[in-house]
Amino acid sequence: MATTAESATIEQGSVVSADGTEIVYDRRRGGGAGTVIQIGGAFSYRKFPKMAQLAEALVRDHGLTVLTYDRRGRGDSGDTPGVYDVRREIDDLVALAEAEGGPDNEVSLFGWSSGAALALLAAAGGRLPGLVRVVAFEPPFVVDDEHHVPPADLQTRLHALIDAGRRDETVRYFMTRGMGVPSFVVAAMRFTPFWPKLRATAPATAHDWAVMAPYMRGEPLRPEDWAGVTAPTLVISGEKSAPLLRKGSRAIAGLLPAAEHRMLTGLSHNPKVGLLAPEVGEFLVGR
């Protein structure tokens, strides 16, 4: 495997998306094995610790150049308050690929949680002609009503909380009602150093919901929605993750034309990077 310095140099850049929104990203240069864009999930940002650790491992151990970026509405990137449309987030990925991709804008995508669903939707839409490979880590598709199903009026309530600037309530509501996290767990988070980070990214949950809303209704995924995902795809789930996440991962992998599903022992939705990175890296470099 290609190796680089122990800690890759981080170079900051930005692109302007189709609607004029600035998207800020960090680049870690690898050894020529290709470029991968990492897409975080709800409450994440480009310097999210585990995303940064994964980026370092992919550069160091696999020679990949890695872009981590602030999805719109979080970190240093711009936003479009009140306008939440998955097509705009795909525009952001297109802009990143055009700026940083290799020959013919070649890139791969790694997505985590709602970021995994966004990666798959971008692949399905065919607007990334240089797309090489996709890794989707636990897209939170809710494919039946056996487990948590978000309420039908979640969007209305979520947008109202965001518009009112009620960030603490936004975090609590999205985590409990959107993600199905037990309320006592969220209450305990309030007293951790991580809570200010959750508050900072709370308004961006409307973008996450724009991505996920059609696929969290407790209904089977429709094959026609995903037929365009023709790039080789690896769907990863963790043996320690909630059954809902494992079930959704298996469901989407079963629909994609060129996909495989791997469930990793010892892995959860809050992953150990040492378990996740080798699987991601080996797949992205074609081994």
Q: Is residue 238 domain-resident?
A: yes
β-strand partners of 15: 23
Q: Is the same domain home to 180 and 253?
A: no
**Could you report the per-residue pLDDT of 32-57, keeping only the tens digit for each?**
999 999 999 999 999 999 999 999 99
Residue 277 lies in a domain: yes
Residues 106 and 83 in one domain: yes
Of the candidates 238, 232, 240, 170, the one whose C-alpha atom is nearest the C-alpha of residue 201 is 170
Same domain, 22 and 97: yes
Instruction: Report the Cα–Cα distance between both ends of the chain, in Å, rounded.
Output: 10
pLDDT higher than 60, residue 282: yes
Is the per-residue pLDDT at 5 higher than 80?
no
Amino acid at 144: D
Query: What is the residue range of 190's domain?
Result: 154-211
- What pLDDT score was predicted for residue 207? 98
Domain count, the chain: 2
Verify that 202 and 227 share a domain, yes or no.
Answer: no
Asked if residue 2 belongs to a domain, the reply is no
pLDDT digits (tens, 9 = 90+) for 109-142: 999 999 999 999 999 999 999 999 999 999 999 9
Residue 35 lies in a domain: yes
- Tokens at residue 35, please? 């470029």
Residues 6+ apart with CB under 8 A from 276: 54, 137, 236, 264, 267
Judgement on whether residues 232 and 249 belong to the same structural domain of the protein? yes
Q: Are residues 234 and 200 in the same domain?
A: no
Do 91 and 158 lie in one domain? The reply is: no
Prediction pTM value: 0.96
Check whether 1 has a pLDDT greater than 60: no
